[in-house]
Amino acid sequence: MKYTRLTKEQFEALNQEFINFLATQSITADEWKEIKEQKPEVAEEELDIFSDLVWEGVLSKVEYLENIAPQHMYLFKVEASQLRLIGLKIKADHIDLTTKEGFSWLRENLMTDDVELFNADKDLEADKNAKLFELIVQGASITKGELFKYLDDLIG
């Protein structure tokens, strides 16, 4: 398995897609029930393969990721062969960017010495989706990129 297995809730939400996936392998509902009962290891493999397919589809469409913690923010733009990063680090210990108050403080103090802004580009290795998945596992969320675009315009 390349990524992680989908949760029960995710499988339920993708029920029709999973049925279609089984159909592409000529597995009927009755056959699937039999596989689950008599060959659970084969059923597990099918769940893993489907999970990887879903993850590949999701990751191939990612354009922006954000990882926001109390004292730092990492904003990523996914390009064809590189990952662009805009980061910021808060030097004031009492600020928590994960709160509404902390975010308001950031808006008012963005260009002060209490905020360290930096950017970097990283070439993406052969498996771009694996790198994106790693960032998600580390706490990044898929976004539309509003924060990245805002800061990119501001510092670019």
- Distance of alpha carbon 51 from the chain centroid: 14
Q: Which residues contact 96 (CB under 8 A, 6 or more apart)?
A: 70, 71, 102
Tell me the Ramachandran region of residue 98: left when phi exceeds 0, alpha when psi lies from -120 to 50, beta otherwise.
alpha
Residues 82 and 130 in one domain: yes
Residue 137 predicted with pLDDT over 80:
yes
Tell me, yes or no, whether 37 and 78 share the same domain.
no
Residue 1 belongs to some domain of the structure: no
6-60, pLDDT tens digit by residue?
999 999 999 999 999 999 999 999 999 999 999 999 999 999 999 999 999 999 9
My answer on whether 96 and 143 are in the same domain is yes
Asked if pLDDT for residue 155 goes beyond 90, the answer is no
Both 53 and 71 in one domain: the answer is: no
Question: How far, rounded to the nearest angstrom, does the alpha carbon of residue 116 sit from its chain's CA centroid?
Answer: 25
Q: Is the pLDDT of residue 101 over 90?
A: yes
Q: Are residues 118 and 138 in the same domain?
A: yes
Quote the domain boundaries for residue 116: 64-155
